[in-house]
Amino acid sequence: MVKVALLVRLEAKPGKVAEVEDFLRGGLPLVQEEPDTTAWFALRLGPQSFGIFDAFDSEMGLQAHMAGKVAAALMEHAGELFSEPPQIERLEVLAAKLPADDEDEAL
């Protein structure tokens, strides 16, 4: 059961929108290597506003993600891509609907 999540808000620097999109799309293969990341979404919130939403079954999964490759890449490229530091919000998940494990295998 998903218990905790992160919402990361990102504001692209002028002229960096396409690079931010590419950066976020490039994060998917990295996060697919994280067995404890239950759900991960890269989002476009507005013309220059982006976000990442990810969810975890446990605090351990969240901490592993924060110490992983995606978080490291985000911080490494923050200065060149974003007009302000990423705003990371920790969330408590009250309810969620996710595919059942056997549905994932059928895909």
- The pLDDT of 14-36, averaged and rounded, is 96
**Chain centroid to CA 15: how far?**
22
3-state SS assignment for residue 81 = helix
- Within 8 A by CB and 6+ apart from 65, the residues are 6, 31, 34, 36, 37, 54, 56, 71
List 3's β-bridge partners, or say none. none
Q: Do 42 and 50 form a contact (C-beta atoms < 8 A)?
A: yes
Number of H helices, E strands in the chain: 4, 4
Write down the pLDDT at residue 101.
Answer: 65
Average pLDDT, the chain: 92
Q: Which residue has the tokens 């994932």?
A: 104
- Residue numbers of the domain that contains 88: 4-106
Domain total for the chain? Answer: 1
Residue 41 belongs to domain with CATH number: 3.30.70.100
Query: For residue 100, is pLDDT > 60?
Result: yes
Write down the pLDDT at residue 59.
Answer: 94
Confidence of residue 99 (pLDDT cuts 50, 70, 90): confident
Write down the pLDDT at residue 85.
Answer: 95
Predicted model pTM: 0.88
Query: For residue 25, is pLDDT > 90?
Result: yes
For 53-92, how does the pLDDT look when each residue is reduced to its tens digit (9 = 90+)?
999 999 999 999 999 999 999 999 999 999 999 999 999 9
